[in-house]
Chains A and B, each alone.
Chain A
Amino acid sequence: MENHKIVGKGVVRSDYLAKVTGEAQFTADIKLPGMLVGKVLRSPHAHARILNIDGSRALRVPGVKAVINGFDGFGIKWGVFRYTQDHAMVPTDKVRYVGEDVAAVAAVDEETALEALDLIHVEYEPLPAVFDPVAAMAPGAPQIHDGYPGNINVHVHIDVGDVEAAFREAYIVRKDTFKAAGEAYAMMEPYAVVAHYSNGFLDLWMPNAGPHVRAKALANLLKMPLNKVRVRHIYSGGAFGGRSEVSPGDFVTALLSIKSGRPVKLVLSREENAISTRQTHDMIAAIKTGVKRDGTVLAKEFEVIYDGGAYSSTGPIAASIPYYVYEEAYRFPNVKYDGYRVYTNKGIRGMYGCHGRAFLAGNEVQLDMIAQDLGIDPVDIRMKNGLTVGEKTATKSWITSGNLAEPIGKAAEKAGWREKRGKLPRNKGIGMGCVAMMTGFPMGFRSGSSCSVKLNDDGHVTVITGIVDNGQGNESMAVQIASEVLGVPLGDINLINADTEITNLDPGAYSQAATYVGGNAVKRACDDARRQILSIASEKLQEPVESLDLRDRMVVSLQDTGKKMPISWIAREAFFRAKPITGVGSYIPKIDFDREWVSKPFGQMAGTYSFGASVAEVEVDGETGKVTMPRFVTAHDCGKAINPMAVEGQMEGSVQQAGVATLTEENLWNEGFLLNPDLLEYKVPLACDMPEIETVIVESHDPEGPFGAKEGGLTVRMNAHSAVACAVSDAVGVPFSELPLTPDRVLTMLEREKEGGTK
C-alpha cells in the first residue's frame, strides 16, 4: 500500500514556478483587445427604496460605452437553494447594505468611468435599518426581506435524544455565552472579473472556488444556456470560502460586456473587496453542556445567532457547519441545536475557512472549565469523548476512518502538554482545540467530479478535470496522482482544468472535496488509461497484465527487468488501432442525498471526516493584556498526505488565519459602515506575529480517498482559534467571552480574574 513512487513525497508544486517568476496570470492581468474598464456605483444607504436610476448623463460622457443597473437584468434572484433565492445581484427594489452594487459603467479608461459614475443619478427613499441580529429579531424591527418574520433567514433545528432528561442526570451542567466578531477573508487578490460577450457566447474569468457552480448561477441570472456561459481557468489569489458563489461583480461585468459588445474588466479596490464581496458572520453562541462525574458528555444544547447580513448567500450551510464539525469530533448522545441566521443591513456573508469561532472556541473553553471542576486534564476529557472509526455522529453519519484521540495524543506529546498544563507560571498558558471536518458534502448532483486523460503520441499526458485551485495546491495534487498511476514524471503531464466548456462537473474547492472527490476521479481516469496501456503492452511484451508496471515513461515487467517498452510506443500503437488511450473516471462521495440542511438534518453527511488537534502556547502581558504566542503545535489526520509539503503549508497558513487571527482580526462597524475595509486597520497577523509552528501529519488511510487521502489543512483552520482561546483563558484563569482577544478584551479578562478568578 505504501509502495508509492511519488505520492507521499514533498514535490515542488506544479504551479510554483509560474507564481514565483510572476508568469502566472491573474484576472487583473488579463488584457483583451478593445477591453473596457468597469466601475460600480454603490449604495450610500444601509436600507433604502430605489425610486429611480438615471444613467443617461453618464452615457453621454465621451468614452463611456455602457451603463447598466438591475433593470438591465431579468429580475431573477439567485440563491444556493430554491428556498433561499433572495439575491438579485444588482437590486431593483431596494438596497440592503452600504456598498451594495446599484449601477455600473464601462468606459475606455478608469478616469472616464469614474467621471461617469458621478453622473448616475439614483433617487432613494431611506428606510430604517438594523445592524444587530438580536435587534433585528425583536418585534417592530425593520424587515429587510418580505416573508421572513423577525428577519430570520434560516432556522436550523436539530434535536437528538432527550436533552432535558440528560441534563437532570448530569453531574455538572454549565452554560456560557460566547461572542465573536466577523472576519474579512482578506485574500491578497482583490476581486476582479473579466467578461467577454461575443457572438452569443459569454467568456468569463474571475477568481472562483468552483467554475461550474459559478457558470450555472450566471446562466440562470442571464437566461443563457450553460454551454454559452464559459468560466475559464485563471490563477486565483485566495478564496478561503469567500469565492464559492456568484458575486455581484460577475453579473455586473457580464451585463456591461453584453451591452457594450466589448470585453470588460472590473477590478475592485481592497476596500470594495471587503465591503461588497463577501464577509463572514458575526456570531453569538449560547452553549449548555452536561457531563457525568467521569467527564463523559451527556448532552449539549446550543442556541447560535449568526449575523447573516443582507442576503441568504450560503445561509443554511453557514448556520449549520460550526455545529457539524463539532459533532463530527465528539460523541453527543443527546443534543439540541438551534441555529438562527438573521438578516441585517450589512454586507453579504458567506462560508469561511475558519467559520464559527465563537461556537467552536466557546465549546472547547467550556470543556476546559468543566474538566477543571472535575479534576480531569483537558486532554483526557477530549480523548474520552472523541469519536472513532465505526461510530456514528449525533446526526447519524458514519466515521469511516481515523479518530480524534490520535491527533490529540500526538499534538499533546509534541507540545509537552503534561509538563505544562496547570504548571505554568502566572500569565502563561497552554490550550487545545479539536475538530473534525466533513470531506465532500451534499451538493446534489454537483457533489461528484469527472476526469478524462489522454495519452499523447509522444507519451506525454493531458489530464482534464474540473478541479480548481485557489492556492491550496489542488492542481499539483491532480498532477501528482496522474504521475503516480501512469508512471510518467510530473513535467510530462499537462493539466487542463477549471474551464466549464472543457471540463466536466466538479464540486469545486468547496466542502474539502478537491482531493477526496476530484482527486478520486483523476485517479480513476488514470487507472482506466493505465488498464488500456497495460492491455496493449501485455500483448506486445508477452507478459500478463498483473506482472507489468508503469514507471519512468516505460512499461516494465516485474518478472523480467529486461522486458520493457516506452509508453509512447503504446500510445502510437493505440492510434493505429483507432482506439487512442483515453481514460475516463468519475467519483461521487457516498453520502445521503436525501439529507437536507433544514428539512432533514440526518443521514450520512460526507464521504469521510478528517480529525485534528491544535495546541497553542501564549504569554499575556499582565499590564497591557497584549498576548504573544511563542509556539503552536498542530496534528492533523489528512488520511494520506499526497504532498506533505503542501499539507504542512496549509496547516501553517491555517495557524495564521485562524490561530493568530484570534488575537487580532475583526470587522469593526459603525451603523452599517465597515470601519476597517483596508489592510492597515484590519489586522491580518504579520510575519513577526507568528509563533514557532510544529506540524504533525497523521495518516489514517481512508478506504475511499485516493491513496487514502481526505483533506489537507481545513481541520486546523477550524480548531486553531479554539487552541488560542483556550490558551489565553488558561493563562488568565478565566474563560474568554468575546473574540478576537485584542489587548483591551484580555485586560478585561485579567480584571475579571482579579475579582474572583482561579489562577
Chain B
Amino acid sequence: MILPGFAYARPKTVRTAIALHNGSQGQAVYLAGGTDLVPRLKYRLVNPTVVIDLKGIQTLTSIIPGRRFLKIGANVTLHDLKNHPAVRENYPALYQSLDATSCETLQMRGTIAGNVLQNTRCLFYNKPDEWRKAKGYCLKMGGPACNAVKGAKMCFANYAGDNAPALITLNAEVKLSGIDGERQMPLEAIFSGKSDLPYTIKPGEILTHILIPGGKTKGDYLKLRVRGSIDYPLVGAAVSLVNERGRVAVGAVGSKPLCFDFDASEAGWVDRIAREVSDAVRPVANTVLSPAYRKKMAGTLVKRIARKLAEENR
C-alpha cells in the first residue's frame, strides 16, 4: 500500500511550523514519530497536501526537571521518557503505561506528544479506503451514520492512547503554541468528548510540552489486550495516588479518558471506585473483544490496582 502524494517540510522551529500550517488552507498535518499518522495516510484516513515534520525542532527534545513540574518536550520518545529516572521514581502509573505502549521498537520511534494526540480508533474506521468505500463511509469519515453501532448518529471510536490516562491521573498539563500565542491547560481539557473530532486543539496549534507536577506518587497502569505486546488497549486503567487523594483515568472506551477522583481514606473505596468506573464506561462493539466484557474489565482492572495501592498504604 503506497502513501498518497503530499509535500513534506521539516522546519527547525515551532514558529516556522505554525506558519507553514497557517499557509496550507487547513490541508496540513503535523508528523512526529509517525506511528499513528503513517498508517492513517496509507489508509487514506487523512489526505493532507502538506506533511510538516516536527522532529527537526530541537527545542522539543528534552526532559527538564523543574521546581514545580517535570517539563517534557513534545519530541521526547516514549522509550527515553520511560527510562528517565524521574519517571521511574515518581510516576509509576506513567512508567507502566509507557512500558505497555505497543512494543519497544515502536516506543523508540513514537513521541510522547504524538502518542497523546493520536486519533481515535475503531474496527470499522481503521481500514483501507476500498474497505470503507465498500462498507459505506461512517460518520467519522463524513458518512451519514456509524457503522459499528448501526444507524447511530454519533461516533464511538475509542481513544486508545496508553499514556494520556496515566498523565491525567498525575494532573499533567499541556502547553500549546499556535498562531494566537501560547496557552497552558490541564491535559484532559484537550479532549472534546467527540470521537469523530476528538480534540479541542485549534488548527495549527502544536502541543509543545507536557508538564507533570513534581513529587512522588503511587500508582499503576493495567492494560487489557489479547497479546503481550503491540496491541492497543481494549481497556486501559491508570490510577495515581498522592497521600490519600487519588485519581483514576480509564482509556480505550469512548472518545477520551474518563476521570474519577477518590479519597483513599474512606472505608470501602476500592470496591466503590471499581464499581463507579464499571458503571460509567459505555463500550460498544468496535474492538476485537465484546463490549460487555470490556465494561466488566474496566472495573476489574481498576479494582486490581486499587487493591494493590490499598495494601501498600496499609
Residues of A at the B interface (CB closer than 8 Å) are 42-45, 98-99, 110-111, 114, 269-271, 275, 623-624, 664, 668, 670, 673, 675-677, 680-681, 683, 685-686, 688-689, 742-744, 747
Does A269 contact B226, Cβ atoms closer than 8 Å? no
Does A742 contact B289, Cβ atoms closer than 8 Å? yes
A42→B132 CA distance, assembly (Å)? 12
Which chain B residues numbered 270 to 305 have a C-beta less than 8 Å away from chain A? 288-290, 292-293, 296-297, 300-301, 304
> Which residue of A is nearest B102, CB measured?
A680
Q: Beyond A743-B293, A744-B289, A744-B290: 9 further Cβ-contacts under 8 Å?
A: A44-B135, A111-B5, A271-B131, A624-B224, A676-B288, A683-B226, A689-B227, A689-B228, A742-B288
> Which residue of B is nearest A664, CB measured?
B226
12 contacts between A and B (CB under 8 A): A42-B134, A44-B133, A114-B2, A271-B127, A623-B300, A624-B300, A677-B131, A680-B231, A683-B226, A689-B227, A743-B226, A744-B290
Residues of B within 8 A of A43 (CB): 134
A321→B190 CA distance, assembly (Å)? 56
Interface SS of chain A: helix, strand, loop or mixed?
loop
> Which residue of B is nearest A40, CB measured?
B130
- A-contact bits for B224-242, CB 8 A (1 contact / 0 none): 1011111110000000000
A742→B231 CA distance, assembly (Å)? 14
Does A269 contact B229, Cβ atoms closer than 8 Å? no
Does A681 contact B230, Cβ atoms closer than 8 Å? no
A664→B232 CA distance, assembly (Å)? 15
A-B pairs with the 5 shortest C-beta distances?
A: A44-B134, A744-B293, A688-B228, A269-B1, A683-B226
Residues of A within 8 A of B91 (CB): none
Q: A675-B123, A676-B123, A686-B229 are in contact. Are A624 and B288 (CB under 8 A)?
A: no
Does B304 contact A623, Cβ atoms closer than 8 Å? yes
A688→B228 CA distance, assembly (Å)? 6
Q: A110-B2, A673-B135 are in contact. Are A668 and B224 (CB under 8 A)?
A: no
Which chain B residues numbered 223 to 263 have a C-beta less than 8 Å away from chain A? 224, 226-232
A680→B127 CA distance, assembly (Å)? 11
A105→B300 CA distance, assembly (Å)? 52
A186 CB, min distance to chain B CBs, angstroms? 13
Residues of A within 8 A of B5 (CB): 111
Residues of B within 8 A of A99 (CB): 134
Which residue of A45, A668, A685 contacts B227 across the interface (Cβ within 8 Å)? A685
Does B123 contact A688, Cβ atoms closer than 8 Å? no
Residues of B within 8 A of A689 (CB): 227-228
Which residue of A269, A624, A664, A688 contacts B128 across the interface (Cβ within 8 Å)? A269
Residues of B within 8 A of A271 (CB): 1, 127-128, 131
B150 CB, min distance to chain A CBs, angstroms? 9
Residues of B within 8 A of A747 (CB): 293, 296
| B124 interface contact, C-beta 8 A | yes
Residues of A within 8 A of B135 (CB): 44, 673
User: Using a Cβ–Cβ cut-off of 8 Å, how many residues does chain B contribute to the interface with A?
Assistant: 32
A114→B133 CA distance, assembly (Å)? 14
> Which residue of B is nearest A109, CB measured?
B2
A747→B126 CA distance, assembly (Å)? 28
B289 CB, min distance to chain A CBs, angstroms? 5
B170 CB, min distance to chain A CBs, angstroms? 25
A622→B235 CA distance, assembly (Å)? 18
Number of A-B contacts (CB under 8 A): 76
Most A CB within 10 A of own CB, among B134, B230, B296: B134
B37 CB, min distance to chain A CBs, angstroms? 15
Residues of B within 8 A of A623 (CB): 300, 304
Residues of B at the A interface (CB closer than 8 Å) are 1-2, 5, 123-124, 126-128, 130-131, 133-135, 147, 224, 226-232, 288-290, 292-293, 296-297, 300-301, 304
Residues of B within 8 A of A677 (CB): 127, 131
B123 CB, min distance to chain A CBs, angstroms? 5
A681→B123 CA distance, assembly (Å)? 8
Does A673 contact B227, Cβ atoms closer than 8 Å? no
Which residue of B128, B134, B224, B230 contacts A680 across the interface (Cβ within 8 Å)? B230
A686→B229 CA distance, assembly (Å)? 7
Residues of B within 8 A of A114 (CB): 2
> Which residue of B is nearest A270, CB measured?
B1
> Which residue of A is nearest B130, CB measured?
A42
Q: A675-B124, A743-B289 are in contact. Are A683 and B134 (CB under 8 A)?
A: no
Residues of A within 8 A of B227 (CB): 664, 683, 685-686, 688-689
Does A683 contact B288, Cβ atoms closer than 8 Å? yes
Q: A111-B2, A673-B134, A675-B123 are in contact. Are A668 and B228 (CB under 8 A)?
A: no
Does A686 contact B230, Cβ atoms closer than 8 Å? yes
> Which residue of B is nearest A623, CB measured?
B300
Does A673 contact B226, Cβ atoms closer than 8 Å? no
Residues of A within 8 A of B226 (CB): 664, 683, 742-743
Most B CB within 10 A of own CB, among A681, A744, A747: A744
Does B293 contact A688, Cβ atoms closer than 8 Å? no
A310 CB, min distance to chain B CBs, angstroms? 15
Residues of A within 8 A of B147 (CB): 670
Residues of A within 8 A of B289 (CB): 742-744
Residues of B within 8 A of A744 (CB): 289-290, 292-293
Residues of B within 8 A of A670 (CB): 124, 147
Residues of B within 8 A of A110 (CB): 2
A743→B296 CA distance, assembly (Å)? 12
B247 CB, min distance to chain A CBs, angstroms? 23
Most A CB within 10 A of own CB, among B123, B131, B297: B131
Does A683 contact B231, Cβ atoms closer than 8 Å? yes
A212→B230 CA distance, assembly (Å)? 40
A599→B1 CA distance, assembly (Å)? 45
B250 CB, min distance to chain A CBs, angstroms? 15
> Which residue of B is nearest A679, CB measured?
B230
A674 CB, min distance to chain B CBs, angstroms? 8
Residues of A within 8 A of B232 (CB): 680
A171 CB, min distance to chain B CBs, angstroms? 39
A44→B231 CA distance, assembly (Å)? 29
Residues of B within 8 A of A742 (CB): 226, 288-289
Residues of A within 8 A of B130 (CB): 42, 44
Does B131 contact A673, Cβ atoms closer than 8 Å? yes
> Which residue of A is nearest B293, CB measured?
A744
A247→B23 CA distance, assembly (Å)? 49
A668→B124 CA distance, assembly (Å)? 11
> Which residue of B is nearest A114, CB measured?
B2
> Which residue of B is nearest A626, CB measured?
B224
B136 CB, min distance to chain A CBs, angstroms? 9
A689→B296 CA distance, assembly (Å)? 24
> Which residue of B is nearest A37, CB measured?
B2
Most A CB within 10 A of own CB, among B127, B226, B228: B226
A675→B285 CA distance, assembly (Å)? 11
A45→B228 CA distance, assembly (Å)? 36
A647→B2 CA distance, assembly (Å)? 38
A680→B304 CA distance, assembly (Å)? 27
Residues of A within 8 A of B231 (CB): 680, 683
Residues of A within 8 A of B292 (CB): 744
Residues of B within 8 A of A685 (CB): 227
A664→B134 CA distance, assembly (Å)? 27
A624→B304 CA distance, assembly (Å)? 10
A707→B149 CA distance, assembly (Å)? 60
Residues of A within 8 A of B224 (CB): 624, 743
A624→B222 CA distance, assembly (Å)? 12
Does A624 contact B297, Cβ atoms closer than 8 Å? yes
Residues of B within 8 A of A664 (CB): 226-227
Residues of B within 8 A of A45 (CB): 134
B128 CB, min distance to chain A CBs, angstroms? 5
B219 CB, min distance to chain A CBs, angstroms? 19
A41 CB, min distance to chain B CBs, angstroms? 9
Residues of A within 8 A of B290 (CB): 744
A499 CB, min distance to chain B CBs, angstroms? 31
Residues of B within 8 A of A111 (CB): 2, 5
B226 CB, min distance to chain A CBs, angstroms? 5
Residues of A within 8 A of B230 (CB): 680, 686
A169 CB, min distance to chain B CBs, angstroms? 43
